[in-house]
Amino acid sequence: MHLSEISGLLGCETMPGFEDRLGHEVGVCFAADLMSEVLAFCSPGALLLTGLANVQSVHTAHVADLAAIIYVNDKRPDPVVVALAREQGIPLLSTKLPMFAACGILYAQGLRPAWKH
């Protein structure tokens, strides 16, 4: 599923400077606010849904080789976070939906969990 499709399903706003990255294909998703769980259990190439809109989410996404981050609950990263994500090439989006609803919508549309075993 392309990030543009995911964005439409969740009513996302794309953070400035990432509009050209919405054609990226994503097949799995991981949702967490604890970045240690992302590092321990998330497989590379996943979409991350989180409410943690600070630099740690971007650092974690970079280390874990994730495809993009969607901030839930209408969270918006500050300009420092957006700039770091641009440097790392990690698209940032934001949805007003809570994490549970966003995950349910994506699962119903065929996106699967990104658990590594």
Quote the pTM value.
0.96
What's the pLDDT at 7?
A: 97
Query: Which sign, positive or negative, has the C-alpha torsion 86, 89, 95, 97?
Result: negative
Q: What is the pLDDT of residues 80-95, one digit of tens each?
A: 999 999 999 999 999 9
| Domain count along the chain | 1
Please give the residue range of the domain that contains residue 44.
3-113
Q: Would the pLDDT of 117 be above 70?
A: no
Summary mean pLDDT of the chain? 96
What's the pLDDT at 40?
A: 96
List the CATH number of the domain containing 49: 3.40.1390.20
Q: What is the pLDDT of residues 25-63, one digit of tens each?
A: 999 999 999 999 999 999 999 999 999 999 999 999 999
DSSP one-letter string for 15-69: PTT-GGGTT-B--EEEE-S-HHHHHHHBPTT-EEEES--SHHHHHHHHHTT-SEE
